């Protein structure tokens, strides 16, 4: 993606050595108060901070709201496919000759009758990208930003671990209901999740730092957009699309605990690789990802690589594969995102029936099992599946985790899996002290 954010006047740009480690640098920028809304997004070898609002697209269930430089904010109704509504909204970004957008998409983006806020993306006024020890700052306020990037003092905050072993009876009952519906032939697989409320205000930025130090995500993110905050350590890539139209997704399915000592980790890895339930759950997820990419990619280009390799993600380990292809002529990153959304490993198979079951078995999900997204004027896109995350809004904070339910699932094991996943963040929650 280009780092340029241009209107008619080229923005300030500065390249300098980043003497702070990237995690601390991103946290300092987020906590600086220089920006209102912001998004931090980490990819392998690259950290990006997007701060302030130059342009904005907000998609609600009944209307899309846009703000672009030199134009009055606009609101209009939309119908049809939500991905088309986002594509059309960004087509109106004509005042910007080049742009990158960052934000989030809710699980309900894929619901047949969506409600609430479905997506919120910003084009930032200031963008900071840190790679290989160097930072490129684009936008106003480069001197102030540069000062934050050379501050090497640590981010403070003492975690107060959260008990994850609550709500067991209710969750096990929902799993049992899902297993019954699977045996009735209503669907093959569904992800049933549970929400864990945090009984005190949370320092989201310090929690992100503490959590990232203890985790090995495929992507990580920290955001405060429109007053909604989230911090997370995504275990898998929902979609990447490069400027040449190459698209990739990375379904993970099958889970065991990790980080409990070398002997126990080896034993649980062996269980994971040989358990018929886990292998079946992963195989059907990979097959579904192939079918989804096949709808938008050129015939014969969709391939699976690294089939069923073990991915270590903080407190858990998963079976993982990569599925990739080349977009067919006339198809765009928005088509790829829509075909893959929501992630098969966070919804179920077949998706329409699984999504319907989730709306019956659970409350509104919002960002959980949605995506944090970066998209660019040049057609590139990167979307992280939102799992292993902290959410905060209106003085309340919560975690959420689920398990993939198939015909061989047992309520006790699936509850244990949610505990293992919640442990990615639960030991690292930093209370807000002011």
CB within 8 Å of 39: residues ≥ 6 apart: 48, 49, 50, 102, 103, 122, 124, 221, 222, 223, 225, 372
Name the H helices within 312-429: 333-340, 351-361, 411-422
Q: Can you say whether residue 167 is alpha, beta or left, with left for phi > 0 and alpha for psi between -120 and 50 degrees?
A: left
Q: Could you give the angle at the alpha carbon of 53 between the alpha carbons of 50 and 56, nearest 5°?
A: 105
* Residue 236 known to be catalytic: yes
Please state the φ and ψ torsions of residue 157, each to the nearest 5 degrees. Answer: 140, 120
| CA–CA gap between residue 61 and residue 195 (Å, rounded) | 23
Token pair recorded at residue 217:
């995500």
**In sequence order, what E strands does 139-290 have?**
189-198, 219-225, 228-234, 237-241, 246-249, 252-257
Question: From CA 14, how far away is CA 22, in angstroms rounded?
Answer: 17
Using DSSP's 3-state secondary structure scheme, residue 233 falls into: strand
For 371, residues 6+ apart whose C-beta sits below 8 A from its C-beta are 104, 105, 238, 239, 337, 341, 342, 343, 383, 384, 385, 386
Q: Give the CA radius of gyration of the chain.
A: 21
Instruction: Output the CA torsion sign for 168, 174, 178, 179.
Output: positive
* Selected catalytic residue, list 236, 281, 362, 417: 236
208: Cβ contacts below 8 Å, ≥ 6 apart: 27, 40, 220, 222, 231, 390
Pair type for strands 134-138 and 189-198? unpaired
Angle 345-348-354 from CA coordinates, rounded to 5°: 150
Catalytic center residues: 236
């Amino acid at each position: 993606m280009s780092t340029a954010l241009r209107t008619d006047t080229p923005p300030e740009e500065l390249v300098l050595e980043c003497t702070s480690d990237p995690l601390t640098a991103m946290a300092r920028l987020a906590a600086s108060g220089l920006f209102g809304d912001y998004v931090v997004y980490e990819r392998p070898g690259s950290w990006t901070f997007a701060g302030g609002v130059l342009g904005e697209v907000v998609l609600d269930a009944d209307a899309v709201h846009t703000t672009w430089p030199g134009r009055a904010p606009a609101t209009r109704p939309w119908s049809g496919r939500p991905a088309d509504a986002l594509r059309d909204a960004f087509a109106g970004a004509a005042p910007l000759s080049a742009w990158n957008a960052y934000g989030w998409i809710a699980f309900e983006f894929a619901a047949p009758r969506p409600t609430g806020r479905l997506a919120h993306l910003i084009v930032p006024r200031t963008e900071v990208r840190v790679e290989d020890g160097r930072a490129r700052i684009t936008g106003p306020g480069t001197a102030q930003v540069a000062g934050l990037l050379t501050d090497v003092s640590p981010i403070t905050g003492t975690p107060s671990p959260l008990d994850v072993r609550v709500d067991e009876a209710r969750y096990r009952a929902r799993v049992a209901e899902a297993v019954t519906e699977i045996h009735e032939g209503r669907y093959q697989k569904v992800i049933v999740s549970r929400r864990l409320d945090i009984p005190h205000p949370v320092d989201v930025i310090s929690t992100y730092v503490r959590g990232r130090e203890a985790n090995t995500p495929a992507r990580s993110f920290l955001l405060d957009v429109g007053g909604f905050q989230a911090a997370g350590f995504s275990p898998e890539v929902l979609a990447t699309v490069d400027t040449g139209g190459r698209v990739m997704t990375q379904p993970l399915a099958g889970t065991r605990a990790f980080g409990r000592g070398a002997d126990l980790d080896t034993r649980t890895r062996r269980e994971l690789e040989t358990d018929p339930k886990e292998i079946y759950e992963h195989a059907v997820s990979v097959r579904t990802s192939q079918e989804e990419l096949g709808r938008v990619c050129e015939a014969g280009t969709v391939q699976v690589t690294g089939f069923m390799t073990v991915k270590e993600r903080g407190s858990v380990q998963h079976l993982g594969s990569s599925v990739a292809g080349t977009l067919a002529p006339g198809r765009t990153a928005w088509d790829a995102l829509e075909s893959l959304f929501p992630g098969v490993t966070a919804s179920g198979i077949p998706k329409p029936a699984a999504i319907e079951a989730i709306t019956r078995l659970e409350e509104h999900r919002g960002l959980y099992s949605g995506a944090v997204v970066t998209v660019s004027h040049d057609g590139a896109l990167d979307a992280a599946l939102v799992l292993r995350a902290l959410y905060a809004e209106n003085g309340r904070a919560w975690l959420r985790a689920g398990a993939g339910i198939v015909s061989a699932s047992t309520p006790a094991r699936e509850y244990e899996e949610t505990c293992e996943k919640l442990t990615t963040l639960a030991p690292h929650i930093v209370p807000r002290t002011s």
